[in-house]
Amino acid sequence: MLVRDRDAQQAELRAQRMLAKMDIAALQQQKLAFFRAAPQPAALTAHAERTLLKCYSVMKSQVYTPEGRIEHRWTTPDRVPHRYLWLWDSVFHSFGNVYIDPALARESLLAVLDSQGEDGFIPHMMLPDRASDVTQPPVLAWGFLRLFEKEGDANLLFSVFERLKRYLAWNMEHRDDNRNGLYEWYVDPNDPGCRCGESGMDNSPRFDAVQRMDCVDFSCFMANEMRCMERIALELGQTQDAAFYAEQYRRTADAIEAELYDEKDGRYYDREIASGQLKRVSAVSSFLPLFAGACSREHAARLVEDLFDPTTFGTAVGVPSVAVSDPTFGSDMWRGPVWINYNYMIIRGLRDYGYDDAAERLRRMTLQTIEKWYAREGSVFEFYDCGGEVSPTLLPRKGAPLRPTDAFVRYPSIRDYGWTATLYVALRME
């Protein structure tokens, strides 16, 4: 008998012995109990209910236990290839996880702070034994404030307030070199192909031939963090801190309006620092001033027109990462497809400005897209074709998809993606 045949027989015998000891029916009921206890809105269609349960299942599968430098339970966007803790993903995950396990939502945010350096820096990605040396979109104060609004635990805010202050102070010190209240993603001077990986927009045409720029997305994220910190400070009775963050919010919001808005196009763009010129790539980042509360009512109205204009951003699925009219528009990741986290932030911005009908329209489009492709492909995806016609499995991801799939050459479209699942839940439950 060959060694491999003997090993296979031994493995089979071990499996049979283990199965004989297990109460399969009890294990099945234990698994099903999780889904029976998971909250569901009333009057869901059968299809929406199946999608919601799928998202709960994805969320349940992407939780890790404490290990090494990570002292809390933590979440990952997917098991392959993003099998790490990521800064902004963790915040978006908490928005859905709070509905099935509030303690998990809390821990997953605290886990991000486990990686914080003494100087306040928080890496964009970490593992139990190592971390990256760049950061990611600052949304952590927003995450903690949202959790407080859900649970009302001021002790949590008190426990993290000083660390959040150090985090924002690090960004203010290291990512606003020209001290104008606008923020710049890191550009590696030794890498001519640098993609501003801190932004989370891996291959956006905003960063083609990138130079240092005052960036509309980074500036809006920082503005939103400042106003969240003002609210947290007020909850804690820290009036001096509240006044400081109110001032910083106003400074950045005013700079966004004055320096990054193009009156002719009615859009917000990045501005190259060296030339002083706007980099006119019509990207989804143009709508983040709605999310940050940083645009005037007049400018908000123009953004809403742009949002639903079929010649620019008004697609069948939501807000494309690049306008269909832009010369750089395509179907590869951040060069055209729709990302659920941006739809989510824009929905919240629309509500804040009183555009409730527009917010509801975008919310329904987002939910229907996730449901449609779950029904057809059995998964929830990282990003979606803005026209609603091409399967996410066929969309390029930093290059044309390989047939057959070969992850050693290029990763295919990511299935069962974390924030797509959690934000589907959030949009259903909110």
Which pLDDT tens digit goes with each residue over 82-115? 889 999 999 999 999 999 999 999 999 999 999 9
Write down the pLDDT at residue 402: 66
Give the pLDDT band of residue 4 (cuts 50, 70, 90): low
Residue closest to 280 by CA, chosen among 213, 186, 344 = 213
> How large a percentage of the chain has pLDDT more than 70?
97
Residues with Cβ within 8 Å of 356's Cβ and at least 6 positions away in sequence, in order, are 350
220-253 residue pLDDT tens: 999 999 999 999 999 999 999 999 999 999 999 9
Which of 263, 340, 271 lies closest to 303, judged by CA? 263
User: What's the pLDDT tens digit per position in 28-60?
Assistant: 887 778 778 788 888 899 999 999 999 999 999
User: 78 with 62: CB under 8 angstroms?
Assistant: yes
Q: Which residues pair with 381 in a beta bridge?
A: 415
Distance CA 51, CA 63 (A): 20
Tell me, what's the pLDDT at 374?
A: 98
Q: Is 309 helix (H, G, I), strand (E, B) or coil?
A: coil
Run of H or E residues at 217? helix 216-235
Query: Which tops the pLDDT comparison, 191 or 335?
Result: 335
- Domains annotated for the chain, with CATH where assigned, are 62-360 (1.50.10.10)
